[in-house]
Amino acid sequence: MFIIALTYALVACTAACLSATTSHSAILLSFAGVTIAVLGVPHGGLDHWTGKRLLQPRCGKGWPLVFFPSYLCIGFAVAWAWSHFPVPTILGFFLLSSWHFGREACPNASPIAAISCGGLLIWTVAWVRPEEMRFLLQGTLGNFSSYSALAIVDSTRAMGCLFFPTGLLLTIRDACLPKLNRVGLCNYLAQIATILLSVMTPIVVSFTLYFCLWHSLLGLQRLRREEGLRWCPFLRSVFPLSAVALAIVVMVTLSRVDLFRAGFQQSTQMKMVFVGLASLAVPHVVVQEFASRYAAHGQTLPSPLSWKVVG
């Protein structure tokens, strides 16, 4: 699905000559908003399922009083750090996201391997599309925009000098293994597709496709297995999240047509979008890492949902 979507994206971007300019930003925003609402939101919106399985054996019925305040506190801490210390916060967010992406695709990968392979999209765009990356960052940084955006791009390019060749070499090494199974082949093709996607399409397109059609789908499939649900009941439980998120995207777009047409700009609304995504992403990574370590120590997670969320 990721490869097919990549093909259509390359054709569409080439035919329409799309770029992250003001004239095209409305199209890119609409594409990103709808796709993330439908596929990206459920990926992190179901973290409370994992939280319940982790905490209920220890906290009983009081698990929500532990999970939700902790989840929100981490999110607020990220938002505060983004506003007061943008450069180290965003660079740390890039490293954490890369590590999480790599761990989702290959749970047994070492930290260096996970960051290198999982962050191929980030390291590629930092070198191939530095001006576009700086342009997008400036819309989220407010008073820090001029200096901080350039510092973030330059620092990301410096990290890419180490992580990009490492990720590329690891990908080539895995492709040359004598017994390359179907999963390994899919990972290899996805990594190559990610590099091509980063080079040939705007950052908003490449990130949205990678996040939604590769990372999110891997995460949703893993969650479905952990919950012991078949696809039909699982999709029924996911559908409300996607529907609500999609409705919010449509309402915000209709209510702020002027902002939507203006596209990427230095605005409070645009900053809230990016900071909000980061504030939700970091606690999501923390929850998933706790779940992975819990399972890695040989402990079996409790049975699937004990309340009826599906028929």
304 pLDDT higher than 50: no
241 pLDDT higher than 70: yes
**Taking a C-beta distance cutoff of 8 angstroms, is the pair 151, 123 a contact?**
no
Burial of 12 (0-12, 13-18, 19+ CB in 10 A): middle
Q: What is the mean pLDDT of residues 29-54?
A: 79
Lowest mean pLDDT among 150-154, 203-207, 264-268, 297-301: 297-301
What secondary structure does DSSP assign to 149-161, as a single string?
A: HHHHHHHHHHHHH
* C-alpha to C-alpha distance for 169 and 158, rounded to whole angstroms: 18
Q: What is the mean pLDDT of residues 225-253?
A: 76
- Helix, strand, coil % over all residues of the chain, rounded to 5: 85, 0, 15
Q: Where are the alpha helices (DSSP H) in 36-105?
A: 41-45, 47-59, 63-84, 86-105
Q: What is the mean pLDDT of residues 119-138?
A: 89
The tokens for 287 are: 């929850």
Query: What pLDDT score was predicted for residue 155?
Result: 94
The tokens for 224 are: 């479905």
What would the pLDDT profile of 137-194 be if each residue is shown by its tens digit? 887 776 556 678 889 999 999 999 999 999 888 888 777 776 667 767 777 788 888 8
The larger pLDDT score, comparing residue 294 to residue 289, is at 289
Kindly indicate the confidence band of residue 107, based on its pLDDT and cuts at 50, 70 and 90: confident
What would the pLDDT profile of 203-214 be if each residue is shown by its tens digit? 888 888 888 888
15 pLDDT higher than 70: no
* C-alpha to C-alpha distance for 273 and 241, rounded to whole angstroms: 18
* C-alpha to C-alpha distance for 277 and 37, rounded to whole angstroms: 12
Query: What pLDDT score was predicted for residue 307?
Result: 34
Query: What pLDDT score was predicted for residue 98?
Result: 92
Q: What is the mean pLDDT of residues 210-239?
A: 82
Cα diameter, the chain: 56
- Could you tell me the pTM of the whole model? 0.80
The larger pLDDT score, comparing residue 135 to residue 13, is at 135
Lowest mean pLDDT among 68-82, 149-163, 281-295: 281-295
Q: Where are the alpha helices (DSSP H) in 85-202?
A: 86-105, 111-118, 120-128, 130-141, 145-175, 182-200
What stretch of H or E contains 205? helix 203-210
The rounded percent of the chain whose pLDDT value lies above 70 is: 72
**Taking a C-beta distance cutoff of 8 angstroms, is the pair 42, 220 a contact?**
yes
* Among 24-38, 191-205, 257-271, 295-309, the range of highest mean pLDDT: 191-205
Query: What pLDDT score was predicted for residue 308?
Result: 37
**Taking a C-beta distance cutoff of 8 angstroms, is the pair 7, 213 a contact?**
no
246 pLDDT higher than 50: yes
The larger pLDDT score, comparing residue 78 to residue 295, is at 78
Q: Which residues contact 132 (CB under 8 A, 6 or more apart)?
A: 19, 20, 125, 202, 203
The larger pLDDT score, comparing residue 210 to residue 303, is at 210
Q: What is the mean pLDDT of residues 49-64?
A: 85
Question: 124: closest CA among 144, 98, 100, 148?
Answer: 98
Query: 177: helix, coil or strand?
Result: coil
